[in-house]
Chains A and B, each alone.
Chain A
Amino acid sequence: MQTEAHYQGAPILDVDPFSTEFLTDPYPFHEQLREAGPVVWIPKYKVWAMARYEEVRHVLDDWETFCSSAGGGLSNFNQEKPWRPPSIILEADPPMHNRTRGVLAPLLNRAALNKLREGFDEKAKLLVDSALARQEVDGVKDIAEVFPLQVFPDAVGLQKEGRENLLPYANMAFNAFGPRNELFEEAFKEAEKVTDWIMNQCRREALSEDGFGAQIYAAADAGEISEQEAGMLVRSLLTAGLDTTMYGITSALYSFASFPEQWSLIRENPALLRPAFEEVVRFQSPVQTFFRTTTCKTQVAGVPIDADQKVLLFLGAANRDPRRWEAPDTFDVRRRAVGHVGFGHGIHVCVGQMVARLEAESVLTELVKRVERIELNGEPVRRLNNTLRGLSSLPLKLYAAD
């Protein structure tokens, strides 16, 4: 690796952020990126990269210069055809973004979600019953992947059959933000079948009458969006709302199994539970990266950047930037972690973040009540994805509290 060379005044770093080596253990690379400079050039993909908190926040704030409509991934939609019609919220700029976000936001805020809480808590209770009965469980396959599948598709209002297509679809979408590497190709093996199923579920007729889906179509009836746009917004929920929370819950379980004293702190003081999930998202950053595209010639930290350039934002690295965080590599549930960029920041900040928090809170509350200790019971297995960071297996042993 070399940092002597410069491109337009910025250090050049010859790394591949989507390689197996990088994705398996990103932290040394994150440090290199952060320390090389506020803006770094990555020649392999011809992109600008930012890994420090301040610059990442700045770019996310300045949506006029750093737009989303040319794609949230590496591909530049101004130059390449997208693999699917672009998202009308994630990959849209104002004014369209205001309109579509305005439809989803009120459905997913804390007030709107209150009616789901009881149902989520009940499911969490049953799940913890069965996990405790077995004592030895896989934190991913028995908890983190199960719970969101039990609550989210129902909340959207999906039919029961075919839900197994949801995970491969999200896996495709999040891999597709990266380059066409092996991960991408592997994820797209059954693309046609999976995509067809998803698109079918987004139709008004396929959705129940009381879920998020129906509420989105109600916005179409009210003239806020078109019928076709309603379908596209349902697709956004199905893409962004399931896998992410699985990675989020996995991240929580992994953190608490790795740092048992932090679990004890929450058991002693359950008021720490919600702040603790913020710390999980900061520390593990289940969504590691997103891209923006420059709309004009600009400058960041003195580095000139041309128009129509892709900018790679390392959210996970910003969340561990020592310029912003004290002891950034320490997992500490007593920390004020709010302000992390794990859910993004600015106009595109995760619109589903309260759903993610509610799911995590339901599961963790039940575990905190009834589980004294969560212990690693074997080697966790990494699941590589071009955007998401998580595990495919997390062997755990749960010790019931008496």
Chain B
Amino acid sequence: MPIVTFLNSDGSAHNVDAPAGSSLMEAAVDNLIPGILAECGGACACATCHCYVDEQWLGKVAVAGEEENQLLSAVLDQRSNSRLSCQINLSEELDGLVVHLPESQY
């Protein structure tokens, strides 16, 4: 199972074991990571599952689709590595993935 590290805006870190095939959002929610709210449950509607993919991992994560890109414009403090965690599928290749959490989802 891929291990993912969530880094909070205050610097604290959470490592979680997530089953391949689940989404990054599910990995966060199932492990009660504070900071990923995921109001819409992965329907790509709420943008409250926003995260920043660590620069070192950008090349390994599949790029955002059109709908995700449109929705990303709604997040606070959008950056070039902004992603919606519900749209990222975890696989063995993403073992070790590091993501940073925003200060606030809205």
Q: Which residues of A contact B (CB under 8 A)?
A: 105-106, 108-112, 114, 274-275, 278, 336, 338-339, 343, 345, 349, 351, 353-354, 357
Known A349-B40, A354-B45; 12 more pairs at CB < 8 Å: A106-B67, A106-B70, A108-B45, A110-B74, A111-B73, A111-B74, A112-B70, A275-B37, A338-B39, A339-B41, A353-B45, A354-B40
Q: Chain A residues with Cβ under 8 A from B57's Cβ?
A: none
Partner of A110, one of B29, B38, B71: B71
Q: In the assembly, what is the distance between CA of A163 and CA of B61, in Å?
A: 48
Q: Chain A residues with Cβ under 8 A from B72's Cβ?
A: 111
Q: A106-B70, A339-B29 are in contact. Are A349 and B43 (CB under 8 A)?
A: yes
Q: A105-B44, A336-B32, A354-B45 are in contact. Are A111 and B37 (CB under 8 A)?
A: no
**Is B67 a contact partner of A357 (Cβ separation < 8 A)?**
no
Q: Chain A residues with Cβ under 8 A from B32's Cβ?
A: 336
**Is A111 a contact partner of B70 (Cβ separation < 8 A)?**
yes
Q: Chain B residues with Cβ under 8 A from A114's Cβ?
A: 74
Q: Chain A residues with Cβ under 8 A from B47's Cβ?
A: 109-111
Least CB distance, A383 to chain B, in whole angstroms: 27
B46 on the A face (CB < 8 A):
yes
Least CB distance, A161 to chain B, in whole angstroms: 32
Report the nearest B residue to A277, measured CB to CB: B39
Q: Chain A residues with Cβ under 8 A from B37's Cβ?
A: 275, 338
Q: Chain B residues with Cβ under 8 A from A112's Cβ?
A: 70
Ranked nearest first, the 10 interchain pairs of A and B with the lowest CB-CB distance are A111-B74, A110-B74, A109-B45, A111-B71, A110-B47, A111-B73, A349-B43, A109-B71, A354-B45, A110-B46
Q: A114-B74, A345-B41, A354-B40 are in contact. Are A338 and B106 (CB under 8 A)?
A: no
Q: Chain A residues with Cβ under 8 A from B41's Cβ?
A: 338-339, 343, 345, 349
Q: In the assembly, what is the distance between CA of A353 and CA of B70, in Å?
A: 17
> Is chain B's interface secondary structure helix, strand, loop, or mixed overall?
loop
Q: A336-B32, A338-B39 are in contact. Are A354 and B70 (CB under 8 A)?
A: no
Enumerate B42-91 residues with CB–CB distance to A below 8 Å: 43-47, 67, 70-74
Q: Chain B residues with Cβ under 8 A from A336's Cβ?
A: 32
Q: In the assembly, what is the distance between CA of A194 and CA of B39, in Å?
A: 35
Q: In the assembly, what is the distance between CA of A109 and CA of B38, in Å?
A: 13
For B, the interface residue count at a CB cutoff of 8 angstroms equals: 19
Q: In the assembly, what is the distance between CA of A357 and CA of B45, in Å?
A: 11
Report the nearest B residue to A274, measured CB to CB: B106
Q: Chain A residues with Cβ under 8 A from B70's Cβ?
A: 106, 109, 111-112
Report the nearest A residue to B69, measured CB to CB: A111
Least CB distance, A394 to chain B, in whole angstroms: 26
Most chain-B CB neighbours within 10 Å: which of A110, A114, A345?
A110
Q: Chain A residues with Cβ under 8 A from B43's Cβ?
A: 105, 349, 351, 353
Q: In the assembly, what is the distance between CA of A105 and CA of B47, in Å?
A: 13
Q: In the assembly, what is the distance between CA of A336 and CA of B31, in Å?
A: 12
Q: Chain B residues with Cβ under 8 A from A106's Cβ?
A: 67, 70
Jot down 25 A-B pairs with beta carbons below 8 A, ordered by A. A105-B43, A105-B44, A105-B45, A106-B67, A106-B70, A109-B45, A109-B47, A109-B71, A110-B45, A110-B74, A111-B47, A111-B72, A111-B73, A111-B74, A114-B74, A274-B106, A338-B29, A338-B38, A339-B29, A343-B41, A345-B41, A349-B40, A351-B45, A353-B46, A354-B46
Enumerate B23-40 residues with CB–CB distance to A below 8 Å: 29, 32, 37-40
Least CB distance, A156 to chain B, in whole angstroms: 18
Partner of A278, one of B39, B44, B73: B39
Least CB distance, A281 to chain B, in whole angstroms: 10
Q: In the assembly, what is the distance between CA of A106 and CA of B70, in Å?
A: 8
Q: In the assembly, what is the distance between CA of A357 and CA of B70, in Å?
A: 19
Q: In the assembly, what is the distance between CA of A157 and CA of B49, in Å?
A: 31
Least CB distance, B58 to chain A, in whole angstroms: 22
Least CB distance, A115 to chain B, in whole angstroms: 11
Q: Chain A residues with Cβ under 8 A from B67's Cβ?
A: 105-106, 109
Q: Chain A residues with Cβ under 8 A from B40's Cβ?
A: 343, 349, 353-354
Report the nearest B residue to A275, measured CB to CB: B37
**Is B39 a contact partner of A109 (Cβ separation < 8 A)?**
no
Q: Chain B residues with Cβ under 8 A from A353's Cβ?
A: 39-40, 43, 45-46
Least CB distance, B47 to chain A, in whole angstroms: 5
Least CB distance, A273 to chain B, in whole angstroms: 10
Q: In the assembly, what is the distance between CA of A139 and CA of B47, in Å?
A: 31
Report the nearest A residue to B38, measured CB to CB: A338
Q: Chain A residues with Cβ under 8 A from B73's Cβ?
A: 111
